[in-house]
């Protein structure tokens, strides 16, 4: 582990081109402490800046919970104090889970994925869940709102009426309902969730790394642009990719009927 000061509540492991971040408080439903929130940012930066890593997989320890969100006993008082002081959590637009990272991130959702858990997966690109997983943003039940980006991301990622159902009622939805809403990709047997995520990761790792990251960058940057600006931005990113050595290697490998050997340059 290359990040100093990380404790056992949040695990970070690197295996070849794939990194794993694991919420590790199973007796507390893998809820997130204030320290863990800072550590999530540190892990995101390490993953972003480590050129050897191509994909990050998120999961939780045990079979009960991915993450039930913030540990309310430890965080609510602190959040209120921060809000009263105009602190970073409420005012810094860059502090949204995994924002600004163009490498792919996959969620292996092995159980309850509530509040901050549901907010975190909105910052990921592919989401695979066990049949018993539950999702929701129950903050309105407690007189607060999910301030980790859900009012921005959720209505952009799923149909507006489904997003408002989740935001306004605070109810839990099942894994199957999450698929129907478009919040997650698929449901697989619980003992196959990680294997399915790793299958996606391996496929992604076999592709041109610069192309993969450019594809995510283009999708995120153009999302709310008008068509003209969006097409121009896409063209700039595409031109950047076409200038790389990888862009020459891919078609050459295809012509020579062999697997490409990408150098990431």
Q: Would you call 102 exposed, middle or buried from its count of C-beta atoms within 10 A (0-12, 13-18, 19+)? A: middle
Within a 13 Å sphere around the CA of 93, how many CA atoms are in the beta-carbon half? 2
Please indicate whether residue 139 is annotated as part of the active site. yes
CB 20, CB 11: distance < 8 Å:
yes
Give CA–CA dist 120/124, Å, rounded.
Answer: 7
Please indicate whether residue 119 is annotated as part of the active site. yes
Three-state DSSP state, 22: strand
Give CA–CA dist 126/203, Å, rounded.
Answer: 13
Give CA–CA dist 26/63, Å, rounded.
Answer: 9
* Catalytic position from the list 119, 198, 217, 234: 119
CB 74, CB 127: distance < 8 Å:
no
Q: What angle do CA 235, 241, 246 make, to 5 degrees?
A: 155
Give CA–CA dist 8/14, Å, rounded.
Answer: 16
Write the secondary structure of 145-170 as one string of H (helix), E (strand) and C (coil): CCCCCHHHHHHHHCCHHHHHHHHHHC
Chain length of the chain:
265
Token pair in block for residue 54: 């191509």
Give CA–CA dist 12/78, Å, rounded.
Answer: 25
* Catalytic position from the list 39, 139, 196, 198: 139
Residues annotated catalytic, as ranges: 119, 139
């Amino acid at each position: 582990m290359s990040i100093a000061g990380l404790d056992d509540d949040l695990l970070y492991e690197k295996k070849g081109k794939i990194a794993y971040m694991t919420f590790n408080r199973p007796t507390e439903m893998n809820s997130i402490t204030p320290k863990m929130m800072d550590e999530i940012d540190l892990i995101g930066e390490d993953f972003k800046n480590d050129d050897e890593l191509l994909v990050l997989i998120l999961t939780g320890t045990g079979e009960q919970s991915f993450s039930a969100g913030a540990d309310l006993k430890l965080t609510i008082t602190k959040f209120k104090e921060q809000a009263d002081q105009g602190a970073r959590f409420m005012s810094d637009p860059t502090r949204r889970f995994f924002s600004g990272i163009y490498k792919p991130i996959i969620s292996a959702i092995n159980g309850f994925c509530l509040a901050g858990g549901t907010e975190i997966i909105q910052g990921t690109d592919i989401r695979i869940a066990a049949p018993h997983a539950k999702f929701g943003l129950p903050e309105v039940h407690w007189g607060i709102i999910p301030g980790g980006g859900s009012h921005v991301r959720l209505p952009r990622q799923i149909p507006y009426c489904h997003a408002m159902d989740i935001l306004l009622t605070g109810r839990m939805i099942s894994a199957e309902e999450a698929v129907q809403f478009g919040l997650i990709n698929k449901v697989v047997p619980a003992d196959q969730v990680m294997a399915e995520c790793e299958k996606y990761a391996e496929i992604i790792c076999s592709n041109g790394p610069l192309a993969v990251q450019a594809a995510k960058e283009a999708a995120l940057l153009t999302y709310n642009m008008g068509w003209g600006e969006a097409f121009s931005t896409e063209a700039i990113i595409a031109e950047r990719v076409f200038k790389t050595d990888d862009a020459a290697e891919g078609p050459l490998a295809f012509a020579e009927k062999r697997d490409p050997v990408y150098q990431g340059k």
